[in-house]
């Protein structure tokens, strides 16, 4: 079913998400890759991900209950150009939870606000789901430390 996902990502387990993708075409659409509460083609209410449009820059996002904090990576999205991303959530080793972002092996920055407290799924999606629009994903990798909280 479109938009139905397993909620695998918990900030309590300090996930590390790694991904490699490229935009398929220059067709106008918004694309997301990372952790989200839903992958149904609309802006997620909760998530930790990279977002971009056909002509815009790739944006690092933390979004909780509809409010978001972003970092403009300064890297333009372009059809057919691959990108690698890494997102690290640190919630237990610091007084303030932080999400660290890397894009194309360059550190982008950290976000400390609007970090979701709900469990999330891991994947990619686009606002327009038609042939040739969206993302081609090379890999999505998720690592979590279940032992840290006695899991």
Contact yes or no for 84/92 (Cβ under 8 A)? no
Q: How far, CA to CA in Å, does 8 sit from each of 4, 27, 45, 61, 119?
A: 12, 31, 17, 19, 7
Q: Token pair of 114, please?
A: 């609007």
Query: pLDDT tens, position by position, for the chain (151 residues)?
Result: 344 456 578 777 888 999 999 988 777 788 899 999 877 767 889 999 999 887 789 999 999 999 999 999 999 988 889 999 999 998 766 678 899 999 999 999 999 999 998 888 888 888 876 667 778 889 999 888 766 544 4
The pTM is what? 0.88
């Amino acid at each position: 079913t479109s938009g139905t996902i397993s909620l695998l990502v918990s900030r309590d387990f300090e996930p590390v998400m790694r991904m490699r993708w490229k935009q398929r075409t220059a067709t106008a659409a918004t694309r997301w890759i990372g952790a989200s509460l839903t992958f149904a083609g609309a802006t997620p209410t909760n998530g930790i991900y990279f977002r971009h449009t056909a002509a815009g820059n790739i944006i690092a996002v933390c979004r909780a209950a509809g409010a978001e904090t972003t970092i403009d990576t300064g890297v333009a999205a372009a059809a057919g150009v691959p990108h690698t991303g890494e997102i690290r959530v640190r919630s237990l080793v610091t007084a303030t939870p932080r999400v660290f972002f890397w894009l194309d092996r360059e550190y982008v920055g950290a976000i400390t606000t609007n970090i979701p407290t709900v469990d999330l799924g891991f994947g990619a999606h686009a606002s327009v789901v038609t042939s040739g629009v969206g993302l081609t994903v090379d890999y999505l990798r998720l690592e979590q430390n279940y032992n840290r909280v006695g899991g």
